[in-house]
Amino acid sequence: MTAEPTLAEICVVACAEAWRGDGAVLASPAGLIPALAARLAQRTFEPGLLVTDGEAGLLAPAGDGSVTEGWLPYRQVFTSVASGRRHMMMGAAQLDRYGNQNISCIGAWARPKAQLLGVRGAPGNTVNHPVSYWVPRHSRRVFVPRVDLVSGVGYDRAAAAGARYHGLRIVVSNLAVLDFGTPDHAMRLRSVHPGVAVDDVVAATGFELAVPAQVPVTRLPTAQELALLRTVLDPDGLRDRELG
């Protein structure tokens, strides 16, 4: 395996790291790269992870991901959600510095400029169990000072509500990995992807990021991870299309 990893492959591995240490929790990825990431984590460093097929099954940690190893009725999903035993990776149309997420509308709620998905399950997800985010295009349009409508709950609002299982793990974008490991849970730059400068991330973010004195480079995929991605999990290379 000699070809250099692509940006999409680096992002898949960065997303997979969100589930490291989770053990036997339900991984619920939304989107192709998060789905590949959850399956990659299950196949490598987190074998106890339960990965849903997005409907009513649990995927077996072997083969090409088409084999179902268990049944997951919808009522059991809600049991996992309510007890904090689920970790979902969602997208975001907007995110602010405390992790409040918007997937509902752009502009004022009473008369929006654009109607999006609606809040969907984001409030319950973010209050009841760990959540991470995948943002394929890092820009000031996404990383905003204040979201237009709160769909997913950030640290400032969760603290006020006393949310028991709330926890935002990481945000992975096409430029960097971010987290909320600051005293006030404001968003922090955790690593930059190869070839990306810290200033590039700061310039593409619409609020003040917490930036450590030393910012590492996001780790590259291992040879095993690349082989799994390229020959088993995504042999058609669909992952690269998600980044345009």
Per-residue model confidence (pLDDT) at position 118: 85
pLDDT category of residue 162 using cuts at 50, 70 and 90: low
User: What does the pLDDT look like over 106-154, one tens digit per residue?
Assistant: 999 889 999 998 888 888 888 888 999 999 999 999 999 999 999 999 9
Residue 1 lies in a domain: no
Q: Strands of 167-173's sheet, edge to edge? A: 50-51, 26-29, 86-90, 130-135, 167-173, 176-179, 188-192
Number of domains observed in the structure of the chain: 1
Per-residue model confidence (pLDDT) at position 1: 52
Residue 2 lies in a domain: no
Specify the CATH number for the domain of residue 213: 3.40.1080.10
The mean of the pLDDT values for the chain is 91
Per-residue model confidence (pLDDT) at position 105: 92
Max mean pLDDT range (83-87, 174-178, 240-244): 174-178
Per-residue model confidence (pLDDT) at position 139: 97
Beta bridge partners of 210: 188
User: What does the pLDDT look like over 57-68, one tens digit per residue?
Assistant: 788 787 666 677
Range of the domain at 100: 7-241
pLDDT category of residue 2 using cuts at 50, 70 and 90: low
What one-character-per-residue DSSP string does 12-65 give? HHHHHGGGTT--S-EEEE-SHHHHHHHHHHHHTT-TT-EEB-SSSEEE-SSTTS
